[in-house]
Amino acid sequence: MREPSGFQLETELTGAHSENLGEDDDDDDLGEDEEDEDDEGAGEGDAEDGRPKKRGPKKRKMTPARAQRSKVRRQKANARERTRMHDLNSALDSLRKVVPCYSKTQKLSKIETLRLAKNYIWALSEILRSGKRPDLVSYVQTLCKGLSQPTTNLVAGCLQLNSRNFLTEPCQESGRYASSSFSVHSYPYPCARLASPHCQSGSNSLPLRTHGYCSAYDSLYGGSGSPEYNSPEYEGPLSPPVCINGNFSLKHQSPPSPEHEKGYHYSMHYSSGLAGSRQTPAHNLVFGSSGMRSGIHNENVLPYHDVHPHHERPPAYDELNAFFHN
């Protein structure tokens, strides 16, 4: 048996896969077949020497024409692969926008985005399951589980956490959540949603801005933000607050109305394009007694289709719907 080597091995590998499959009928390389016959027939067709006849497509020499075709094919494959990866990155960007802590300037890495998304889903599921306002610390810890330190800091900064809260908290995940992890000041995070003019609507709107950053937890559960509205500091794409309504606010179904202004609870809009079956009116979303104290107007959040062009329904739609109707 001959040992394939170097260039020949490469051409055999690729050629075995594709060259011999579809392009042999191009007879622009005349004489090749005969060369191949000579080339391979002597080496592997010998039944006399006891060796089994080699199966599979014949190996063919790389002629200039074939090399050219191979090159073109490879270029096409590369272009497809690039497109595919770009699509994948676009999807990741969409995901970045719906997980807590979206920042144009400090993008989460791919892996961190996926981890944070997983944690976010988990945290929301826990809220649904328990039906109670989560503890801030455990909530953040859930969000930050498995995240790198910079990302943890970013999340903490996004939440505008009072780092003192964590000084007394036991560390989790082998010390990952030590107090030093929450050096909020070092990761100032401007909350995109705050730039939304909806943030300033209505007297019942929750003060969302604190020193230019978003305290999503505050916005969800009521906190101590000073109402500095409509700042142009950050005009990037909107990120949902780390709260239910941001993630599940889907689409404006009607322009803001006085009724909406009054309905200051955690409103949820669902507007699904799925079979047109779930044009659900806004549901007031109330989280426990403390949650009642404050809320975010439903227009505070990015229309769902802005980041979900296909109008996917949130996975927990039915559960949420049922829960918030109770």
Query: Which residues would be at the binding site for DNA (CB under 7 A)?
Result: 10, 13-14, 16-18, 21-23, 74-82, 84-86, 89, 107, 109-112, 148
Least Å distance between CB 113 and DNA?
8
Q: Token pair for residue 58?
A: 């014949």
Q: Are 211 and 233 in contact (CB under 8 A)?
A: no
Least Å distance between CB 82 and DNA?
5
Least Å distance between CB 10 and DNA?
5
Q: Is 314 exposed, middle or buried (0-12, 13-18, 19+ CB in 10 A)?
A: buried
Closer by beta carbon to DNA, 25 or else 259: 25
Least Å distance between CB 182 and DNA?
17
Distance CA(40)–CA(29), nearest Å, equals 17
> Across-strand partners of 280?
270
Least Å distance between CB 99 and DNA?
14
Closer by beta carbon to DNA, 146 or else 303: 146
Q: What is the DSSP letter of 190?
A: B
Least Å distance between CB 267 and DNA?
34
Least Å distance between CB 48 and DNA?
30
Closer by beta carbon to DNA, 89 or else 224: 89
Closer by beta carbon to DNA, 76 or else 262: 76
Amino acid at 96: R
Q: Find the DSSP H helices in 222-275.
A: 244-248, 258-262
Amino acid at 110: K
What count of other Cβ atoms lies within 10 Å of the Cβ of residue 66?
A: 20
Closer by beta carbon to DNA, 13 or else 167: 13
Closer by beta carbon to DNA, 147 or else 268: 147
Closer by beta carbon to DNA, 108 or else 285: 108
Closer by beta carbon to DNA, 186 or else 279: 186
Distance CA(67)–CA(123), nearest Å, equals 54
Q: Are 130 and 124 in contact (CB under 8 A)?
A: no
Amino acid at 200: Q
- DSSP run (H or E) holding 218: helix 216-221
| Helix 149-159 × helix 136-144 angle, to 10° | 140
Q: Which of 249, 256, 280, 149 is nearest to 198 (CA)?
A: 256
The beta-strand segments (E) located in 162-219 are 209-210, 213-214
Least Å distance between CB 23 and DNA?
6
